[in-house]
Each structure stands twice: as C-alpha cells, then as structure tokens.
C-alpha cells in the first residue's frame, strides 16, 4: 500500500447507482501504522453513524508519467482527536485497511465541478450552458429560458475541451427550474446522460476530468 502521511485522498462513503452519483470527500493521511491509518476528518464531516462501516480510500499515483487513481477498502474504527507535530489537536478518523490497494476507477459515477481554469465549455442547440458538474456518464447543467430541453429527448452537445470541439449525443434525463425550489428567476436546470461516446473522445474527457480533479487538491 503506497500511501504515506501528507498524501491527499478522497474517501468514497457511498455509491448510488440509481441516481448516478458517488459520494466522495476530500481528506489527508495523518499517520500510517501497518493496516491502521489516521485520516483527517472531512468537511462536511463523516458522521459517527458511519462507525464500523466500510469505505474506500482513493488517491492518485504516478504510473509512467500518468496520474492513475488507486484505492483500497477500509473500515472506520473510531473518531479521534489527533495531535499534529505543531501540538494542534484536530478531528480525525482511524480506519483499518481491509483489502489490497489497486487501480480504482470511479469513472462513470465520479463527478467533478469545473472551475474558470478548467478549459471546458458546452453549447446545446446554439445556446451556451453552464456546466455545474460532469463525469464520463453525463453532466448537470444550468441554462436560461431561451433553451428548451424536454425529458427523454436526445440532443447534440458541442463540448469544447482545451480549445478543441467534440460533438457528443446526450439524453435529457430530467429538467427542473428555480420555481420548484421556491425561487423565481429564469434559470433552468437539466441532467444529461452521454450516449455512445467514441473511445478517443472518452479518453480526452477522462483526462479532462482528472485535470479538473487536481484543481481541487
């Protein structure tokens, strides 16, 4: 297991396949002693109801100059106050690894939030949309009232990544607006599922997602 104190990790606490979501929280390794590992408490925190529950600890490693995500299964042993070298006490959780570390593909379910530095934009039917989050499986977007998207319809998505444009077919899974949240403005939302992405385009998108993930480390 190639982890050491100071390593940034993401803790996968739950995968909801029906909702196409993965629940992963950012943390850091404080200490490693055999199979017992002390991790920084996350923000928002992992709840004490997760005591004795299984998680997956994932992290990036360099393989042939390419960043690859590895992971291993672990069980939460206890929630503790941990003393740093600076004598500061911080909230932490102690876990015990229960499986071998190896390549771990979050892929379809792992969504990242683009930033202004991400070099990613999207246009649907000639209208620019805001990408709220994206994965290999799809994206959540917001747009103004001039774009009309209906559930179960298919649209061509023009996606610009690093100044190169790719066309991807996407099914509209659901749509909603601010009125459903008690707010009154012209912003609309939609959840998209990407369909039959060509392998070369999938590789470009996968690399872009990894690049965006590193922006949050």
Shared domain check, 154 and 104: no
Mean pLDDT of the 150-163 span: 92
Residues pairing with 27 in the sheet: 9
> Is residue 151 in some structural domain?
yes
Whether 141 has a pLDDT exceeding 60, the answer reads yes
> Is residue 114 in some structural domain?
no
Which CATH number belongs to the domain containing residue 140 in this structure? 2.40.10.430
Whether 101 has a pLDDT exceeding 50, the answer reads yes
Least confident of 28-42, 61-75, 139-153, 170-184: 170-184
CA dist 143 and 149 (Å) reads: 10
Angle at 18 between CA 15 and CA 115, to 5 degrees: 65
> Is residue 27 in some structural domain?
yes
Shared domain check, 82 and 62: yes
> Which CA distances in Å does 122 have to 34, 116, 150?
46, 13, 18
**pLDDT in the model for residue 184:** 52
DSSP code of residue 185:
S
Q: How confident is the model at residue 136 (pLDDT cuts 50, 70, 90)?
A: confident
How many structural domains comprise the chain?
2
Contact 12, 21 (CB under 8 A): no
Out of 67, 84, 109, a domain closes at: 109
Residue 101 φ/ψ, nearest 5 degrees: -75, 145
Write down the number of H helices and E strands in the chain: 1, 13
Mean pLDDT of the 78-89 span: 92
> Is residue 41 in some structural domain?
yes
Residue 201 φ/ψ, nearest 5 degrees: -70, -40
Shared domain check, 137 and 187: yes
Which CATH number belongs to the domain containing residue 23 in this structure? 2.30.110
Burial of 201 (0-12, 13-18, 19+ CB in 10 A): middle
Whether 126 has a pLDDT exceeding 80, the answer reads yes
DSSP 148-172: ---TT-EEEEEEEETTEEEEEEEEE
**pLDDT in the model for residue 19:** 47
Mean pLDDT of the 116-133 span: 93
> Is residue 67 in some structural domain?
yes
Residue predicted with more confidence, 42 or 185:
42
Shared domain check, 134 and 102: no
Q: Which domain holds residue 136?
A: 120-215
Whether 18 has a pLDDT exceeding 60, the answer reads no
Mean pLDDT of the 167-172 span: 92
> Is residue 40 in some structural domain?
yes
Whether 30 has a pLDDT exceeding 90, the answer reads yes
């Amino acid at each position: 297991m190639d982890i050491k104190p100071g390593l940034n990790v993401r803790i996968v606490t739950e995968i909801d396949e029906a909702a196409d979501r993965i629940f992963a929280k950012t943390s850091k390794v404080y200490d490693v002693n055999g199979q017992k590992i002390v991790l920084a408490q996350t923000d928002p925190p992992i709840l004490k109801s997760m005591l004795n529950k299984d998680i997956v600890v994932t992290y990036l490693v360099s393989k042939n100059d390419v960043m690859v995500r590895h992971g291993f299964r672990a069980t939460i042993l206890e929630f503790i106050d941990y003393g740093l070298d600076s004598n500061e006490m911080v909230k932490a959780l102690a876990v015990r690894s229960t499986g071998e570390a190896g390549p771990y593909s979050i892929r379809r379910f792992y969504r990242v939030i683009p930033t202004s530095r991400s070099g990613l934009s999207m246009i649907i039917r000639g209208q620019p949309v805001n990408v709220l989050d994206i994965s290999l499986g799809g994206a959540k977007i917001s747009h103004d009232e001039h774009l009309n998207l209906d559930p179960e319809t298919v649209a061509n998505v023009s996606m610009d990544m690093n100044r190169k444009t790719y066309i991807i077919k996407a099914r509209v899974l659901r749509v909603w607006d601010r009125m459903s949240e008690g707010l009154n403005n012209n912003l609309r939302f939609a959840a998209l599922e990407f369909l039959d992405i060509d392998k070369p385009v999938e590789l470009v998108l996968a690399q872009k997602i990894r690049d965006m993930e590193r922006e949050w480390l």
